[in-house]
Amino acid sequence: MSKSKSSESIKVVVRCRPMNEKEKAAKFEMVVSVDVKLGQIIVRNPREAAANEHPKVFTYDSVYDWNSKQIDLYDETFRPLVDSVLLGFNGTIFAYGQTGTGKTYTMEGVRNDPERRGVIPNSFEHVFTHISRSQNQQYLVRASYLEIYQEEIKDLLSKDQTRRLELRERPDTGVYVKDLSSFVTKSVREIEHVMNVGNQNRSVGATNMNEHSSRSHAIFVITVECSELGVDGENHIRVGKLNLVDLAGSERQTKTGAQGERLKEATKINLSLSALGNVISSLVDGRSSHIPYRDSKLTRLLQDSLGGNARTVMVANIGPASYNLEETLTTLRYSNRAKNIKNKPRINEDPKDALLREFQEEIARLKEQLEKRSGKKKRRRRRRGGEGSDGEDLEEGETEEDEEEGEDKGDYWREQQEKLERERKAIMEDHSLVAEEKLRLLKEKEKKMEDLKREKDAGEMLSAKVKAMESKLLVGGKNIVDHTNEQQKMLELKRQEITEQVHHIL
Amino acid sequence: MASVSSDEWRAICDKFTNAQNLTVVESLNDPDNDPFRSKYKARELLREIYCSLKSFEAGEGEEESGGETGESGESGESGEQLPVEAPVDGQTEEAFSQGFCGDSPAGLRAAKLGAVEYYLGVNHVDTEELSAGQEHLMNSMKLLGRCRVSSENVSLFIHARNQLGILWAGRDETETAQGFLETAESIYQRYMKEDGSPPTDMADYFSTEENQLTHQERTKRFELAYTHTMYYLAQVYKNLGETERAAIYCHSTLQRQLKLNQFSPMEWALNAATLSQYYITKGRYMEGRHCLSAATVISGLAGEVPSEAAAQESETESERREQLRQKRAEIARCWIKYCLNILQDSKKLLEDSIGELDTDRQEEMKRGRRLEEEEEEKERKSAMLFGSEDTFDSIASLEEKVRCLLPMDFTEARAIFLVGQHYVTQAKDYFQMDGYVTDHIEILQDHSSLFRSLAFYEEDLDRRCKMHKRRVDMMEPVCMELNSKYYLMIRRQMMFELAETYNEMMDLKLTLANRQDETESLDSHTIKKFNNLCSASAKYFQMFLDSLCSPEGKQPEHLEEEVLRPALVARFRVARLYSRLICTSPPGQVENLDKSLEHYKYVVDYCDSHPEAVATVETELELSREMVGLLPLKINRIKAKIHANN
């Protein structure tokens, strides 16, 4: 990849799964062969009538056959993409293919088996490992999860699963999903939890479960914000966004599993009058007219990934058996077209909507508040010390350095409370006061005690808030110390070297 | 045949109800690994019904020559592809004149068997067994072929052909599909002409007496089937590339939905508004206006927009508010395009070679616009009218608010402009900048184009200039507000338009000044104004050119296709603008001309090194070459003067 070039094509890889038991038992022919060296998929038509036909050859950036390992796929194809997300680029992974061709295996794989773990868990691991090894950087990682089904957007992480969300645009930050929730995650475990919650929501509430899962698109978005002191002495924030997109099954929009013959691709007639609008708008020449039917929500939402500011990898999954021939060809042709899409990725530096900046500012603000509070307290204490002296506060803003806040504070509160209690008692026992006056004074004291308590709670809440916010920001080393770190790093380097060598050889 | 009240008959009716329920309701819940379970069950029931019907026949000793059609589903099961040869549908004429009466026992029996074949056919098609489906549907046709069209069977005639149309279209045999659907069309038309009574629905064949459909329901189902025929034909014509015919059939579909009250107002209105866009791009403004007026009126049937307060109280109200506002704003945008296109079309007719109003031509066109023209339009119109009794008048009165003839002078153009502007306001009310950036700007661009078109008719140059100023005022702030990271394309468009608008204003100012003052020199105030406009124009062209640079600010070595012409034209225009700046000091003149030369040179050099660019900018290139030759002479002359004066 040359550095001066600002545009790059979508990277397209194709993976072919092995024949499954059922296909073997039914003695289906294998029609797909994979040439890993040349990056080619070769498909031949098994029908006798087509015996003279040349097999169809498709070339991609990489191809993977049934022997390919998850980790190889990750290291060669996805690791560089996730690396650039960590540098502040947008990255998108599209998984595409007919249902049953291993899309889920490629993306998710077998969670608890490190060998068979898919792209998603591998990328989680990758992101947080990277952070743990970082130095002098502050990170904020958050995740969102949404689904598009029949042009409706659903927030898979929201409590209310009946609510539909809308796409909106802002002049400064572009397209966004209004009210989409996002969760700050601090570890692999947390982000996995977020994903699991979403996955559960994906499957509930659908009237026709199977149709739903194979016809809906799901997008898991990981936003990695990284703050670092620049040479100019200012903190700079880079924001990388990783979209993990599980596209709806590429099979024809009719059900699979038919007993009889299969349809061939054709310009089919829309049966339902609800599509009349589509028919009409297809007649209109779009140049000087307005067509009230928008691009699909998926396209609008991912426009950056398809010819915009992003690096994009598309992984197409296919099956090798003869009965899937048509669909396999459709998938391969579609992927071929995707190769022509050019992106222009840039590092997103100091964007206006960086959450990290907000966090940093909020923490600073809260800390300042806390400091002011403790300043005020000290003032009072001092005043208490010089009892009787009613002078002006000249110590405004003065703060002592490094007191052990917690205990000291506890003492102070206790003292205050005891003092008030004493005064209250004194009033009660003072017989010189008339009843009314006594009541008034008592009430006053009680109110003071309440105020005191409220102030104390507020202070505690403030410091808790600061702690909570700070805990969401991740820094290397301290957070996740693992001694396997170095070892693992070495191993990874080795693997990377090998991968590169292999590429050189090819 | 078993008497209608017998138990046997009842059992058949039950089976049929069951099969329908399995097909329509149960099938939605079938599991992934067995997606057609319910449909296969329904198929079994239908087969049983078929056998029972057959056995009734046998029992009653009526020899039936159709026996050989028998069980034809088997072939489908084997997964074998039947030889696909396109059958030809029988003639409508025969269907009406030959065969036995529809209400004779033989006719009824054929219809019932035909209906079961029909349902079996649909079932097979649904389960992706097309060949078997085709066979069943053809059997259904064959059985009916022995009957004359009558109210007892006409519905089945139409339904079976609709299905065959779909089936053949799915095989990419569009002409065959067309044949079936067109026959259905003519059968319907002839039946309605000759008989027209509410026909029996196929479901009626298998329902007990107490469950028979009402006349109203029968008519509704029958008409809906024919609406589908129209709709399928529209798609068939579209796939055949016969766009105009497809549009006619879309139009009829909409007409029928309205007439038969089978529509949802908003959906219908939006479809009609979309259809208007087809008409306006074909220059058929009367049709376009009718569609738009109907769209506006029908969208009103969807009710009032809930207030903001009501929307805050309930989720459904809020959603309804959103939906109604959005769709009405969409319709408003279609109206804007109507006004814009009609203005632009007449401008194209009336402008001379330099884009000014050709008054001779204007007179000629005005004279040529005969009174009969509108009469003619009325005739054309009766064929495509939308509306029911209660909406007809409102649609007509809305149509009267804007003309559908090309405007010929400022007054006529202004009337259209005002209507367009009214809809701009309406559309912007929903599509606000915050939330709908792209839409909002598209509307702004249309508004600017409306002004631009109107300015063409304005004879007073000062007022014309003010119109262009309005365009600048609406676009400039928005263009600066946008983040180019997300709105690069839109910003480029706006920069270009701003540059051109300033350029136009500059030209107007100059013409005005020259007109007012015949003497040679311009006063300093005018010069200042002129130079400001000139610089503003150059500034936006330059911004456009800068937007093509790499993040590091480097000019691209190779211009991509979609920006090739705009980039070279912008260069050329900047070059021209620099040479036009009025400067009294000779060194300043040299400086401007140097810049001008530099840009002209760029155009020439780029085309020399990229021969593929030449064709896109032929005129500009020719002029640039000339200037590259001439400007150095001029520069040298001024330099010589400076030298001499020193």
- Is B284 found in the same domain as B183? no
Q: Are residues B119 and B236 in the same domain?
A: yes
pLDDT at B640 over 50: yes
Does the structure's ipTM exceed the value 0.90? no
Range with lowest mean pLDDT among A251-265, A475-489, B83-97: A251-265
In a domain, B39, yes or no: no
Specify the higher pLDDT residue, A28 or B537.
B537
Q: What percent of chain B shows pLDDT beyond 90?
A: 62
Residue at B375 is within a domain: no
Query: What phi and psi values does residue A304 have, to the nearest 5 degrees?
Result: -65, -30
CA-nearest residue to B441 within chain A is A171
In angstroms, the separation between the Cα of residue A169 and the nearest Cα of chain B is 4
Asked whether residue B470 falls in the same domain as residue B392, the answer is: no
In B447-556, the DSSP E strands lie at none
Write out chain A residues lying below 8 Å of B315, CB-based: 163
- Kindly report the nearest CA distance between residue B107 and chain A, in angstroms: 30
Asked if the C-beta of A347 comes within 8 angstroms of chain B's C-beta atoms, the answer is: no
State the pLDDT at residue A463.
Answer: 83
The mean pLDDT of chain A is 80
| pLDDT (mean) for B281-298 | 95
Of A339-353, A487-501, B78-92, B291-305, which has the strongest mean pLDDT? Answer: B291-305
Q: Indicate the range of A419-423, B230-234, B415-419 predicted with least confidence.
A: A419-423
> Are the beta carbons of A290 and B271 separated by less than 8 Å?
no
Band of residue A460 on the pLDDT scale cut at 50, 70, 90: confident
Mention every residue, 6+ apart, whose C-beta is less than 8 A from residue A109: A70, A116, A117, A118, A119, A121
B218 and B337 in a single domain? The answer is: no
Segment B279-290 mean pLDDT: 94
Contacts of A4 in chain B (CB under 8 A): 550
Same domain, yes or no, for B450 and B599?
Answer: no
A2 and B CB contact within 8 Å: no
Least confident segment among A89-93, A496-500, B227-231, B351-355: A496-500
The answer to whether position B426 is within a domain reads yes
Could you tell me the CA-to-CA distances from B292 to A126, B289, B357 in Å, in that order? 56, 5, 30
Query: According to the model, what pLDDT value does residue A265 have?
Result: 39
Indicate the range of A314-318, B182-186, B202-206, B253-257 predicted with least confidence: B202-206
Which pLDDT value is given to residue A443? 86
Strand ranges, E, within A48-186: 56-59, 62-64, 90-97, 137-149, 152-155, 167-170, 174-177, 183-184
- pLDDT band at residue B172 under the 50/70/90 scheme: confident
Q: Identify the domain boundary among B242, B262, B282.
A: B262
**Please, what is the Cα angle at A128 between A125 and A131, to 5 degrees?**
145
Residue A476 vs residues A17, A228, A479, A480, A490: alpha-carbon distances, Å = 38, 12, 6, 7, 18
Chain A contacts of B131, Cβ < 8 Å? 261
Can you tell me the distance from the alpha carbon of A216 to that of B337, in angstroms, rounded to the nearest whole number?
35
The predicted pLDDT at position B531 comes to 95
- pLDDT surpasses 80 at B517: no
Please check whether residues B170 and B134 belong to one and the same domain.
yes
Tell whether A418 lies on the interface with B, counting CB pairs under 8 A. Answer: no
- Is residue B319 very low, low, confident or very high in pLDDT (cuts 50, 70, 90)? confident
B430, B496: one domain: no
Distance of CA A421 to the CA centre of its chain: 54
Distance of alpha carbon B9 from alpha carbon A158, whole angstroms = 54
pLDDT of residue A255 exceeding 90, the answer is no
Q: Is A280 on the interface with B (CB under 8 A)?
A: yes
Q: Do B35 and A289 touch (CB under 8 A)?
A: no
pLDDT at A462 over 90: no
pLDDT (average), residues A106-131: 91
Closest residue to B28, CB basis, from A208, A281, A285 = A208
Alpha carbon distance B519, B503 (integer Å):
24
A267 contacts B239? CB cut-off 8 A: yes
* Arithmetic mean of pLDDT, B124-148: 90
Judge if B165 and B224 occupy the same domain: yes
pLDDT tens digits for B218-233?
999 999 999 999 999 9
Minimal CA–CA distance to A456: which of A500, A420, A493, A490? A420
Q: Given B434, B457, B480, which residue is the final one in a domain? A: B457
d(CA B475, CA B466): 14
pLDDT digits (tens, 9 = 90+) for A204-240: 555 455 556 677 899 999 999 999 988 888 889 999 9
Chain A contact set for B444 (CB, 8 A): none
Chain A residues 259-278 within an 8 A CB cutoff of chain B: 259-264, 266-271, 273-274, 276-277
Q: Which residues of A are annotated as a binding site for ATP?
A: 97-104
Partners of B172 on chain A (C-beta within 8 Å) are 264, 266-267
Q: Which residue has the higher pLDDT, B348 or A373?
A: B348
Residue range B385-403, pLDDT digits in tens: 887 778 888 999 999 999 9
Q: What is the pLDDT of residues B348-367, one digit of tens each?
A: 999 988 888 888 888 888 88
Among candidates B132, B267, B337 on the partner chain, residue whose Cβ is nearest the Cβ of A289: B337
Q: How far apart are CA B330 and CA B292, in angstroms?
A: 11
Instruction: Please enumerate in sequence order all residues whose Cβ is within 8 A of that of A237, keeping only pairs 6 or more positions apart, or say none.
Output: A225, A226, A227, A349, A350, A351, A354, A356, A357
Residue B312, in any domain of the structure = no
Tokens 């095989």, residue located: B171
Residues A267, B169: C-beta atoms closer than 8 Å? yes
Q: Residue A484: how many CA atoms within 13 Å on its side-chain side?
A: 4
Same domain, B483 and B445: no
The pLDDT tens digits for B25-64 are 888 888 767 888 999 999 999 999 999 888 876 655 444 4
User: What residues make up the domain containing B272?
Assistant: 265-306+317-352+385-457
pLDDT band at A32 (very low <50, low <70, confident <90, very high): very high
* Greater model confidence, B95 or B192: B192
- Using alpha carbons, list the distances in angstroms from residue B163 to A255, A261, A262, B116, B334: 19, 18, 18, 14, 35
Taking the C-alpha atoms of residue A165 and residue A175, their distance in angstroms, rounded to an integer, is 13
The conformational region for residue A298 under phi > 0 = left, psi -120 to 50 = alpha, else beta, is alpha
Average pLDDT of span B175-196 = 94
Residue B310, pLDDT > 60, answer yes
Give the count of beta carbons closer than 10 Å to the beta carbon of residue B337: 24
- Whether residues A276 and B250 touch (CB distance < 8 A) is answered with yes
Within its chain, how far is the Cα of B606 from the centroid?
Answer: 40
Give the span between the Cα atoms of B458 and B197, in whole angstroms: 60
In terms of average pLDDT, the best of A246-255, A441-450, A489-498 is A441-450
Residues that constitute the known binding site of A: 97-104
Same domain, B543 and B589: no
Q: Is the pLDDT of residue A390 over 70?
A: no
Compare CB distances from B235 to A257, A270, A290 and report the shortest one's residue. Answer: A270
Q: Which residues have CB under 8 Å from A144's CB, separation 6+?
A: A155, A157, A177, A180, A181, A182, A183, A220, A221, A223
The predicted model gives A307-330 an average pLDDT of: 89
Are the C-beta atoms of A172 and A352 separated by less than 8 Å? Answer: yes
Q: Which residues of A touch B233 (CB under 8 A)?
A: none
Residue B184 domain flag: yes
DSSP class of residue A42 equals E
Say yes or no to pLDDT of A47 above 60.
yes
Please give the pLDDT value at position A49: 60
Tell me if B472 is assigned to some domain.
yes
Last residue of a domain, one of B262, B294, B329: B262
Predicted confidence (pLDDT) at residue A261 exceeds the cutoff of 90:
no
CA distance A322 to chain B (A): 15
Structure-derived torsion over alpha carbons of residues A285, A290, A293, A295, reported in degrees to the nearest 10:
80
Is the pLDDT confidence value at A393 over 80?
no
Task: Identify the bridge partners of residue B351 per DSSP, sorted by sequence position.
Answer: B357
Q: How many helices (H) and strands (E) does chain B have?
A: 26, 0
Q: So what's the pLDDT on residue B58?
A: 60
Residue at B29 is within a domain: no
* pLDDT band at residue A260 under the 50/70/90 scheme: very low
* Nearest CA distance, B174 vs chain A (angstrom): 9
Which residues on chain B are in Cβ contact (under 8 Å) with A283? 238, 243, 246-247, 250, 278
Model confidence band, residue A10 (pLDDT cutoffs 50, 70, 90): very high
The interface residues of chain A toward chain B in range 166-195, judged by CB-CB distance below 8 A, are: 166, 168-175, 178
Is B177's CB within 8 Å of A258's CB?
Answer: no
Domain identity same for B449 and B492:
no
Q: Do A171 and B481 touch (CB under 8 A)?
A: yes
Output the pLDDT for position A258.
36
- Lowest average pLDDT, out of A80-89, A338-347, B495-504, B583-592, goes to A338-347
* Dist. CA B313–CA A235, nearest whole Å: 44
In this complex, is the C-beta atom of A309 within 8 Å of any C-beta atom belonging to chain B? yes
For all residues of chain B together, what is the average pLDDT? Answer: 88
**In the predicted structure, residue A374 carries a pLDDT above the cut 80:** no
| Domain shared by B509 and B594, yes or no | no
| DSSP, residue by residue, A346-367 | ---BS-TT-HHHHHHHHHHHHH
Query: What is the CB neighbour count within 10 angstroms for residue A102?
Result: 22
H or E element in which residue B580 lies: helix B561-580
**Residue contact B274–A274, C-beta within 8 A:** no
CATH number of the domain within which B254 lies: 1.25.40.10
Residue A146 has pLDDT above 90, yes or no: yes
Domain count across chain B: 4
- B572-603 per-position pLDDT tens digit: 999 999 999 999 899 999 999 999 999 999 99
- What span, in angstroms and rounded, lies between the C-alpha atoms of A235 and A174? 24
Opening angle at CA A113, ends A109 and A114, nearest 5: 90
Interchain pair B79, A259: CB under 8 A: yes
